Amino acid sequence: MSGYALDAGVVSAIRASGLSPVDWVGDHNVAVSEVAIQEVFRHLPADDAKYIGNLAVLAHLAEAPTAVTDAIIGLARELMARYSRHSPALATNDALIAADAILSSRVLITKNTHDFHYIDGLTWIDANGFHAVDGSLIQTRGAVSASPGPRPCCSRLEPQ
């Protein structure tokens, strides 16, 4: 793995913490995809304190948001086909965010593990309930990957 990728909800959580993403995550190598960016900003007026706060979080990232490349689209399409029998269905934006993390070998930090936990090849950290009181996220949380077989939280069906 070479760094971390932020899901949209995590950008909001970092903003709410008042910390920089580097301090919150505990690593300098943090990125966010353009797909997550649109979730972060859509429906927020530009003069809203949250809009300005989200901008401040993203300004701290060393790299510009990652663009959606043909390779990401290709893998996202493959994931959506592979999990077409999965319930709940793999949404397009989640497929693109997962594909981006897989292809860039980043650990996805998300509060929506429900949307990602069954995707083979993806490694993620569950950010739910993390408040950065006792250290950074990666000091206190381990990264996990999908394991084969059914899960109690969804009706996972084996890939076709």
Asked if 64 is part of the footprint of other proteins (rule: CB under 8 A), the reply reads yes
35 forms part of the interface with other proteins (CB under 8 A): yes
Instruction: Return the residue of 80, 125, 127, 137 that touches other proteins, per CB under 8 A.
Output: 80
Buried b (16+ CB within 10 A) or exposed e, 48-71: eeebebbeebbeebeeebbebeee
Interface characters, 93-122, with other proteins (x: CB under 8 A): x-xx--------------------------
Say whether residue 34 binds other proteins (CB under 8 A): yes
Tell me how far apart the alpha carbons of residues 21 and 15 are, in angstroms, rounded to a whole number: 8
Nearer to other proteins, 1 or 64 (CB): 64
Binds other proteins by CB under 8 A, chosen from 38, 84, 105, 145:
38
Looking only at residues 136 through 155 of this chain, which bind other proteins when binding is defined by CB under 8 A?
Answer: none
CB of 112 to other proteins, least distance (A): 9
For other proteins, give the closer residue by CB, 63 or 120: 63
76 binds other proteins (CB under 8 A): yes
Which residues of the chain form contacts with other proteins (CB under 8 A)?
8-9, 12, 16, 34-35, 37-44, 46, 50, 55-56, 58-60, 64-65, 67-68, 73, 76-77, 80, 91-93, 95-96
